[in-house]
Structure 1
Amino acid sequence: MAQWLSGIVTDNHHWHANLFSIKVKVPNFDFIAGQFVRLALDTPTGRVQRAYSLVNSPGTNEQEFLVSTVADGSLSPLLQQLKMGDNIEVSQPASGFFILDEVPDGNNLWLISSGTGIGPYLSMLGTHGIWQRFKHIVLVHTVRTVADLAYREYIHNCQRQYPGQLYYQPIVTREAHSGALDRRIPELIQTNELQHACAQTLDEQSQIMLCGNPQMITETRTLLETMGLKKNLRRAPGNITVEQYWK
C-alpha cells in the first residue's frame, strides 16, 4: 500500500508560461530510474493528486518533476504556484515497470518522447547501467515550440561525458529551429528521415522505448509493428517498451 511522505519544495523553475520543473526534498526516498510517484496537495475541497515521472536519477538529494500546466487541471496549476519552502506530499514506494531492467539488450536504444515524456529518460541517462549496456543511445524529443525543449544543457553535458554514444534529436512541429526535424514521429520513421538524421537503424536489433502523448505512442508502435518489431513483454521479450500512463 502506498504511503505519503512530506516533502518541501526547494525550487520551481519555469521554462515558459506552461512548463516548469519542481524540485522537492523528501527524506529516505528510493526509486528506479523510469518510475513515477504521485504528488498531492490538500485543498479546501479535498486532496488532489496525480502521477509524475521522476526526472532526477536515483541517489540524488532532491526529487525533480517536469510538469506541463493544464489550464483546467486540478493539480498542475497549483504546483506551478508553489514556492521554495512550501509543503507537498509524495507517494512511496515509486511505481512502474518503464525501467531499463525490463528492456532486453540491443545494438542501439531509442528513447522516443513527446512533451514531458522525456522525464524518465533524463533519469535513466544519469545512471551508469544505460551507458554500459548500449553502444548507441538515441534520445528523440518532439515538442510544439522551441521553448518546450527542456533540459538541453543537461543532455549536452551527457553527450560531452559520453562522446559518440548519445545522439539527441529534437523535433519542433510549430516553429523552425536549426538542427530540429519538423514532422510527426511516425512520418519521420516511415520515410527513414529520423533514422538517417540519427545515423542509426530501427530493426530487430534495436530497443525502442516510447513515452508521452498516447496518440504518438499508439501510432508509432503500430508503425514499428508493421516493420516487424514486437512489443516487449516479460513472457515474450520484444523491441518496443511503452509507458502506460499519461502525464
Structure 2
Amino acid sequence: MPFDEKPILTILYQDEYIVAVDKPAGLFVHRSYMDKDEIYFALQLVRDQVGKYVYPLHRLDRPTSGVLLFGLNEEVARLMGQVFIDKKIQKTYIALSRGHLLGEGEIDHPLKEKLDKLGDKNVSPDKAPQEAVTYFESLLTASLPIQVGKFDSVRYSLMKLRPVTGRRHQIRRHLAHLRHPIIGDINYGDNKQNPFFIKHFGFKRLMLIAKKVEFIHPITKCQVIIEASFDQQWLQVFDELAWDPKTINSLTS
C-alpha cells in the first residue's frame, strides 16, 4: 500500500562513509516494475535526508522492515560490496512464524532463483537451484485459545534467523520449507492464519524485521553493530502474546 505522506526515516548510524536507516514495512528500496503507484522510495528518502547521493549496499524486500545500509561514495559501495560477497557481514532477522518451531539448527535447502520480470529478463528460468543456508533459533512460543480451521488454538514462534547466503526471499522460503511460514507472508504463508492475524491484531504486514547487522568497517577497520528497534505493531503482538519486550531485547541482541 502506498504511503499517504512522505516518510521520515530513522537514521540508525551515520559516518562520512556509510549511513544506515530503519526501513519501514511497505517501502521499496528503489524503483521496480511493481511500483507504479509508489512515489516514495528509500533511496530517494535517504538521499534527501543526508543531502547527497547514496548507494544502496543491499536490499530488503518491500514488506520487510529494519536495518538498511547505504554507502556515501562509490568506493565505499565497492568495498562494502566485497564484504557482502565474502560473507563478512552478519545479519540477524526476527520473524513471527506459524506454529511451534522449537530448538535451533541449520536450514540447508537450495533455492531456485526468483527472477525479476525486468531486471532478470535475460536470465534463464532453467537455472539450477542455488545454495541457500540459514541458521535458525527459536526464542519464544505462544498460543491463543482460538479455533482457526481444523486447529483448536493459534500457535506462534518468535524466531531468530541468520542467513549465510543471500538468495531472494531466502528466509521466507526457508521457513515455509519447514512448514512454519512467516505470519503475513502473502507469497509463502498460510491462507487461514494470515486473515486471522489481520482480523485479530488489526493490521496487515509481513512479520519479519532485519534486526541487526554486524561488520568490520572497510575504512576505519572498527567493528560496526547497527540495530533496529521493534515498532509499535511488533510491541502490540508481544503484549497480546504475553511476551516481555525486555526479555525479547535480551534474546535478540
TM-score (norm 1): 0.29
- Per residue, is there more strand in 1 or in 2? 1
TM-score (norm 2): 0.28
